[in-house]
Chain A
Amino acid sequence: MPVTALYPEYKYPSRSRQELYGDDILVHVGLRGNRLFAAPSTHRVPPAMTFAAFLTDIVTPWVSSDPELDPQGLRGWTLDGSAITPEDTATLADLGVGHKSLLTFEA
């Protein structure tokens, strides 16, 4: 449905569009089956980052505030709702992670 507006051609850009982040993108990361973390979290990352670096630099520091969680045992990855099996050496771009994609996992 088009917006109900006072004038035609009501058109403004997204305030979160990718170009506002330079060469980076936003990625949402959610931990399934653990309600300690109330919501997924949002991170700004370069799409050329490898999945291994993403785990070490972004995901592990975030989930480490749960003392009972083993950051080595993250599994069951999904990307925007579909299951994926990410290789450590693949970049986020290789995996198809786009601006504001949601990655989820279990621990």
Chain B
Amino acid sequence: MARKLSMKQRYAALTRDLDWTPSYVDEEKLFPYTRFEGIKVNDWAAWEDPFRLTVDSYYKYQAEKDKRLYAVIDSFAQGQGHLSLSDASYINAMKLFIQGVTPIEYAANRHFSFLARHYNGPGPRFAALCQSVDELRHTQTEAHTLSAYNKYYGGFHSWPKQFDRVWYLSVPKSFIEDAMASGPFEYLIAVSFSFEYLLTNLLFVPFMSGASFNGDVPTMTFGFSAQSDESRHMTLGLEAIKFLLEQDEANVPIIQKWIDKWFWRGYRLVSLIAAMLDYMLPKKVMSWKESFELYFEEQMLEGLFKDLEFYGIRPPADVAVAIAEKEHYSHQAYWTLYQYSYAAGFTTTIPDAEHLDWLSAQYPDTFDKYYRPLWEKAAKIEADGGRFFNTGLPQLCQVCQLPMLFTEVDDPEVVAVRDTVFEGERYHFCSDGCARIFADEPEKYVQAWLPVHQILQGSCGGPTLPEVLAWYGFQDGDSGEYVGSADQIDWQQWHSDEPVRS
């Protein structure tokens, strides 16, 4: 009679036992990507799988979660749930999410499935396979969750194309493509460690709590559905870094360099989240500053990095810059989005009086001094019948691809500019962090597809703004000022026609 295997045995049979030692092909030929980065792995079998999950249990568990999510999506749609959001302006946060985050999930799906073939050891291969499936599931569930809004609101219709074309989406795109164009170990530090561990709470909690506070039940349910995957991904990130550090001492300086780089790249990417958190949520969750202090300073600097000290790892270079910038980050980022939103797939507006006061209270040392006067000036321009838009195309950082919008840490009125000349050509950076990343691998970053430079080269639909916006795939109502936008007008109309509810 066949013996029933225990969970642990089944796991081993389905993962480790499917591995074999190549007999007629060199291992180096079979796994061509795991040496050029200089990482030494002496014993692949030392990889401890943080989760003993088999494929059948994995699918059963995920199917349950999907069932719950799709039931919520259906009932929200049937009950016209979108009408009970806090305000139509909330939807802008979700536009940013589907345009900027969902395509990262899809790219991660692609690359983890590549890695599921290319690590020498069966442990990391299987972990990569599971994460690849997770990322595809996230892409699908996010698209399905947010497609409910596509019927009623602008900005949701062409996100995969826009990810490849639009200026502010080149920030997440260049982030993930930089990771995918790295070797398999750097990718793990970039995505599994930096993105999924160091910064994950700064990335996901603002969106999911924002959804919960603003009546977006489907997105909140998606968040719960993804949460158990995310905690698995976090554990994978931690396992990956400990495995690499324990394998060989020579790995330590390489890993440290990648932590420095990917902390900074990830941190620059989340400037868009900082803007969303402080400016795009009608009902506030917490400020960027508070979120950064809790999820980064307390949990990572006081927690994780204390544990990593044992391996000779120190906190990321430039962490002091990020800490100093927390008083300014969201304000500078949203101020930029506000003035270029004529070319964005969402709308922006001047915060109302209550919102401005909330910002003053959250940022007592900086908001009234530096940022409230800008909003007052924008309000004055509006009162005179205008709307402040910056008509110049922004100068972009060669590495993070954000506009050069950040200021010097010791002087918030001076834009930080770093530059270098490489092989006779000048390149600019928003920070020491980005300048250092370039200096380390200039041959990689000279190839950056910078949206503004491409527009001026004539590669983006034509030389005029309407041609570029058409090439971006923007339609009437997608962009510009929120007040008076199609979303706002529809919202007001739907609510004025609303029958009295019991």
Contacts and interface: CB of A to CB of B under 8 A. Distances in A.
Interface in A3-17: 3-6, 10-17
Nearest to B392: A41
A38 B446 contact: no
Contacts of B452: 42
A71 to B, nearest CB: 14
Interface string B436-462: 000111111011111011101100000
B428 A14 contact: no
B370 interface: yes
B390 A38 contact: yes
Interface stretch (B55-63, B188-196, B208-216, B331-339): B331-339
Describe B's contact surface by its main secondary structure.
mixed
Contacts of B392: 29, 37, 40-43, 62
Contacts of B391: 61-62, 65
Contacts of A1: 439-441
Nearest to A34: B413
A44 B441 CA distance: 27
A36 B446 CA distance: 30
Contacts of B303: none
A38 B417 contact: no
Contact of A26 (B336, B413, B414, B453): B453
Interface stretch (B21-29, B31-39, B231-239, B316-324): B31-39
B428 A38 contact: no
Nearest to B336: A38
A61 B368 CA distance: 30
A99 to B, nearest CB: 7
Contacts of A35: 335, 370, 374, 413
A25 B439 CA distance: 24
A60 B183 CA distance: 47
Given A35-B413, A40-B415, A101-B426, A5 B395 contact: no
Interface string B349-380: 00000000000000000000010001001000
A26 B425 contact: no
Candidate in B370, B396, B414, B453 with the most chain A CB atoms within 10 angstroms: B453
Contact of B394 (A14, A40, A101): A40
Interface string A58-85: 0001100101100000000000110000
Nearest to B404: A39
B295 interface: no
Describe A's contact surface by its main secondary structure.
loop
Interface residues of A, number: 45
Contacts of B335: 35, 38
A67 B382 CA distance: 11
Interface string B39-62: 000000000000000000000000
Given A36-B388, A39-B403, A40-B395, A16 B36 contact: no
Candidate in A1, A2, A41 with the most chain B CB atoms within 10 angstroms: A41
A44 B145 CA distance: 42
Contact of B390 (A17, A26, A65, A81): A65
A29 B442 CA distance: 24
Contacts of A16: 425, 448, 450, 453, 457
Given A4-B36, A15-B453, A100 B405 contact: no
B446 A12 contact: yes
A102 B439 contact: no
B394 A42 contact: yes
B404 A65 contact: no
Candidate in A11, A39, A68 with the most chain B CB atoms within 10 angstroms: A39
B384 interface: yes
Nearest to B444: A3
Contacts of A80: 419, 426
A39 B405 contact: yes
Contacts of B7: none
A65 B36 contact: no
Contacts of B33: 6
B443 A3 contact: yes
7 contacts: A2-B443, A4-B182, A20-B457, A38-B332, A39-B390, A39-B404, A100-B426
Interface of B: 32-33, 36-38, 182-183, 186, 332, 335-336, 339-340, 370, 374, 377, 381, 384, 386, 388-396, 403-405, 413-415, 417, 419, 425-428, 439-444, 446-450, 452-454, 456-457
10 closest pairs, A vs B, by CB? A41-B392, A39-B403, A3-B443, A38-B336, A14-B446, A16-B453, A40-B395, A3-B441, A39-B394, A44-B456
